[in-house]
């Protein structure tokens, strides 16, 4: 929609119409008693709204359509392909439109011994996929950056530990790709490529990861709206890779004083994403809250809101973990959480309502 200023002249209006038509769209003009509005009809992607906004007499120029199409339900309905709900499959594990899938493991891979032991523990607790960070994005350069941060050789060794641990217990593996330099190497080892919240806006990384053709786990940036999360996941889809798993992990808290959690978990993003797209969405209560004592409740809430899965950090000895100890649950707690989530999922399902529109 292009809204003209109250004092726009007829010449201003004609100039806008010319621009719209010059882009191959039709221009419908609504002449109000107070101001005029021009509606471009056709493929909005062909019109440069930014340019239109600079024309004389224009008050506002904004798209009506969503900035994402390939992943959107509305576009699929328009194409006559409403289809079944999308699920992302990793071997025999399916994320989306079914039982919640649990990704678990330590925040950071610390040693071969540690990750193998954790693989065993999370398997026993009922998790489906193993996680473990090799390159840790940290706020301070003076903090531990992950065992893979030293050299490509260190990184490859750590990746091989993670893979060995996954293989030993029949668990697909996922790890974060922090920079473009590591895309190829990580793709060789993992089953799901994880793009962290801080990198959500990094289009080059998104494109390169997408091109590997493996499922991509994309976390929402802590300052991003849901619309931005969807817009940036479109960068992956545009490479022909629609195996995208979104992840809500909390946004920056508001207000003065303490929020008592690291971030604010936005669980309404779950049904919103289900209504807007076919993509599955999981929740990471560990990073969102930063507090072990809140993981159980927030996991239950996530599943009841319709989450397709959870990503939970666990360590056999949280107090010895090199990174993020305060937010890691023990394997026993993990089992409790997984059991509760399965029960709540089934209870809600029996109520005859799914979170999908």
Binding to its own copies in span 169-198, by CB under 8 A: 178-181, 198
User: For 43, which DSSP code?
Assistant: -
For residues 39 and 169, which CB has a smaller minimum distance to its own copies in the complex?
39
Stretch that binds its own copies, among 88-96, 114-122, 155-163, 232-240 (CB under 8 A): 232-240
Residue 355, helix vs strand vs coil: coil
| Cα 336 to Cα 125: distance, rounded to the nearest angstrom | 8
Residue 349 touches its own copies, criterion: CB under 8 A: no
Residue 163 touches its own copies, criterion: CB under 8 A: no
* Contacts for 287 with CB less than 8 Å, ≥ 6 apart: 197, 249, 250, 262, 263, 313, 324, 327
* Contacts for 354 with CB less than 8 Å, ≥ 6 apart: 306
For residues 97 and 261, which CB has a smaller minimum distance to its own copies in the complex?
261
- Residue 9: CB minimum distance to its own copies, A: 13
- Residue 241: CB minimum distance to its own copies, A: 12
Among 270, 279, 312, 338, which residue interacts with its own copies (rule: CB under 8 A)?
A: 270
Stretch that binds its own copies, among 97-105, 124-132, 166-174, 286-294 (CB under 8 A): 286-294
Residue 281 touches its own copies, criterion: CB under 8 A: no
- Residue 158: CB minimum distance to its own copies, A: 16
| Cα 213 to Cα 240: distance, rounded to the nearest angstrom | 8
Stretch that binds its own copies, among 89-97, 123-131, 154-162, 266-274 (CB under 8 A): 266-274
For residues 11 and 91, which CB has a smaller minimum distance to its own copies in the complex?
11
For residues 171 and 284, which CB has a smaller minimum distance to its own copies in the complex?
284
- Residue 215: CB minimum distance to its own copies, A: 19
Binding to its own copies in span 314-343, by CB under 8 A: 318-326, 336, 339-340, 343
How many residues sit close enough to its own copies to count as binding (CB under 8 A)?
122
Place of tokens 């390159």: 135
Stretch that binds its own copies, among 85-93, 113-121, 151-159, 260-268 (CB under 8 A): 260-268
For residues 70 and 168, which CB has a smaller minimum distance to its own copies in the complex?
70
Binding to its own copies in span 94-113, by CB under 8 A: none
Task: Look at strands 58-61 and 309-313 and give their pairing.
Answer: unpaired
Binding to its own copies in span 38-77, by CB under 8 A: 39, 41-43, 45, 48, 50-51, 53-55, 64-65, 67-69, 74-75, 77
Name the residue among 169, 141, 103 with its Cα closest to residue 334.
Answer: 103
| Cα 226 to Cα 231: distance, rounded to the nearest angstrom | 9
| Cα 353 to Cα 345: distance, rounded to the nearest angstrom | 11
User: Burial of 264 by CB count in 10 Å (0-12 exposed, 13-18 middle, 19+ buried)?
Assistant: middle
* Contacts for 201 with CB less than 8 Å, ≥ 6 apart: 221, 224, 228, 232
| Cα 89 to Cα 252: distance, rounded to the nearest angstrom | 31
x/- site string to its own copies, residues 4 to 43, per CB under 8 A?
A: -xxx--------------------x-xxxxxx-x-x-xxx
Q: Which helix (H) or strand (E) holds 302?
A: helix 292-304
Cβ pair 49, 1 in contact under 8 A:
no
- Residue 228: CB minimum distance to its own copies, A: 5
């Amino acid at each position: 929609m292009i809204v003209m200023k109250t004092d726009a002249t007829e010449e201003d209006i004609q100039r806008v119409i010319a621009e719209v038509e010059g882009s191959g769209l039709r221009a419908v003009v609504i002449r109000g008693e107070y101001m005029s509005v021009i509606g471009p009809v056709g493929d909005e992607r062909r019109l440069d709204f930014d340019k239109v906004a600079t024309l004389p007499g224009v008050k506002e120029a904004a798209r009506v359509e969503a900035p994402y199409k390939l992943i959107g339900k509305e576009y699929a309905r328009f194409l006559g392909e409403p289809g079944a709900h999308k699920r992302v499959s990793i071997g025999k594990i399916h994320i989306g439109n079914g039982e919640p899938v649990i990704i678990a493991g330590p925040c950071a891979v610390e040693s071969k011994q540690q990750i193998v032991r954790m693989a065993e523990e999370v398997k026993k607790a009922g998790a489906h996929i193993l996680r473990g960070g090799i390159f840790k994005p940290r706020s301070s350069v003076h903090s531990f950056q992950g065992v893979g941060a030293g050299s490509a050789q260190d990184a490859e060794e750590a990746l091989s530990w993670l893979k060995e641990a996954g293989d030993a217990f029949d668990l697909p593996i996922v790890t974060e790709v922090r920079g473009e330099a590591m895309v190829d190497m990580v793709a060789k080892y993992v089953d799901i490529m994880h793009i962290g919240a801080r990198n959500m806006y990094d289009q080059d990384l998104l494109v390169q990861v997408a091109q590997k053709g493996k499922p991509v786990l994309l976390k929402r940036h802590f300052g991003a709206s849901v619309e931005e999360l969807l817009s940036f996941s479109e960068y992956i889809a545009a490479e022909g890779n629609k195996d995208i798993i979104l992840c809500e992990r909390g946004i920056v808290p508001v207000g003065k004083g303490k929020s008592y959690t690291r971030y604010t978990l936005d669980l309404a993003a779950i049904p919103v994403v289900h209504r807007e797209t076919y993509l599955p969405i999981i929740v990471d209560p560990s990073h969102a809250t930063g507090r072990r004592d809140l993981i159980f409740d927030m996991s239950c809430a996530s599943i009841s809101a319709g989450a397709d899965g959870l990503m939970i950090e666990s360590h056999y000895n949280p107090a010895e973990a090199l990174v993020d100890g305060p937010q890691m649950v023990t394997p026993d707690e993990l089992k409790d959480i997984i059991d509760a989530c399965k029960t709540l999922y089934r209870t809600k399902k029996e109520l005859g309502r799914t979170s999908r529109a």
